[in-house]
Amino acid sequence: MSLLGNHGRTLAAFDRTVRLVRADQWDNPTPCTEWTVRDVVNHIVSEQLWVPHLLDGATLAEVGDRYAGDVLGRDPVRAWSEASTNARRAWTEEGATKRTVHLSFGESDASLYGWQMTTDLAVHAWDVAVGIGIPQPIEDDVAEELIPIARPMIEAAQGTGILAPPVEIPDTASAADRIIALCGRSPR
């Protein structure tokens, strides 16, 4: 499956998960030990807000700190919906995945950035689902495709404080459980 196909499916999974968050669950803890459900959603919404700028060639300095802090306001679901709609529109523009983007580690192919965003959407959908007590939302066929693409990115991020070390699980575990474990989370 293509980057855009997987991205669309993980975006939809995150969307379904966010829409299940009850008003009394935004402060629930998540597997991201420093983040509540609201914090995870804020992180993902902030990432979506950056997408149109980065795919349009903006540098980090040009975007600046406009998306620092709380980007959810009083209506987190609406903030998510608007940001994700605009991000998806930017990703599906003609040639978007063939562009060069400016990221924190330098210039990168937009397709690599897209796979990073797709992996982040999948894993953080799982984090929110755990935080609100619903079944995990990652589709196994999507996870199966993400693992070989995400593994080198995740290995490169080890030791930076972004991710916990991978969790050992059996090779026979579901692909969804394996991607979660690769990202330093215990799927059970």
Cα separations (Å) of 124 from 56, 84, 111, 179? Answer: 25, 14, 20, 11
Closest C-alpha among 110, 119, 104, 94 to residue 51: 110
**Per-residue confidence in pLDDT tens, the chain, 188 aa:** 599 999 999 999 999 999 999 999 999 999 988 999 999 999 999 999 999 999 999 999 999 999 999 999 999 999 999 999 999 999 999 999 999 999 888 899 999 999 999 999 999 999 999 999 999 999 999 999 999 988 888 777 666 666 777 889 998 999 999 999 988 888 87
Sketch out the chain's domains with CATH numbers.
3-134 (1.20.120.450)
Q: Could you give the CA distance from residue 130 to residue 135 in angstroms, rounded to a whole number? A: 7
**Quick check: 42 and 49 in contact, CB under 8 A?**
no
Report DSSP letters for 84-106, one per residue. HHHHHHHHTSTTGGGSEEEETTE
CA angle (132 as vertex; 131, 134 as ends), nearest 5: 110
User: Residue 44 in contact with residue 124, Cβ under 8 Å?
Assistant: yes
Task: Give the 3-state secondary structure of residue 133.
Answer: coil
SS3 36: strand
Rounded Cα distance, 26 and 18, in Å:
10
Buried b / exposed e over 85-102, threshold 16 CB at 10 Å, is: eebbebbeeeebbebebb
Spatial separation of the C-alpha atoms in residues 188 and 89, rounded to whole Å: 35
- Residue range 71-87, pLDDT digits in tens: 999 999 999 999 999 99
Q: pLDDT tens, 158-174?
A: 666 667 778 899 989 99
pTM: 0.93
Q: At what angle do helices 37-55 and 76-91 cross, to 10 degrees?
A: 30
Residues 39 and 16: their CA atoms lie apart, in Å, by 17
